Amino acid sequence: MSKRHWPFVLGGLLVALLLAGVVSNYASSHPDGLDSSLLKGCTVNADDEITGGTCPAQQAKDHELADSPLADYGVRGIGNDFLSTGLSGVLGVLLTFALGGGLFWLARRRGPATPAAPDTITASADPADDAATPSTGTR
């Protein structure tokens, strides 16, 4: 990557870190469309716990990674919700940036191909010899 691209990449990373670390705390806490459609037919309390009725959400189970360090948009062990959510977002951005950067680093072009040595060139010096000839071998 040329030196003139680094300010753009670092600027994008800074914006992503700012959005994930600060702005993510102001996202809506109301259920999205999938969650609200799964709750149709049930009554819920203020903590979004099902208190009655029947709905598909009653068959929901915890995810296998529900007890992982970054589950539920927070960092386990941090009591401050604002800090926990912001830190979770920042860690997610850094992990994604590192993984993506590593993949791009592996896939990048390694530079121009080196030309073949003069003694291995197979093309003839006569341009007429390089022209396509009919399959009969006559010109």
At 58-81, the pLDDT tens digits run 888 888 888 888 888 889 889 999
Q: What pTM was estimated for this model as a whole?
A: 0.61
- DSSP H or E segment with residue 51: strand 50-53
Amino acid identity at 129: D
Most confident of 2-11, 68-77, 90-99: 90-99
At 48-57, the pLDDT tens digits run 788 989 999 8
Evaluate whether 80 touches 25 at the Cβ level (below 8 Å): no
Ordered DSSP codes for 64-110: TTTTSTTGGGS-TT---HHHHHHHHHHHHHHHHHHHHHHHHHHHS--
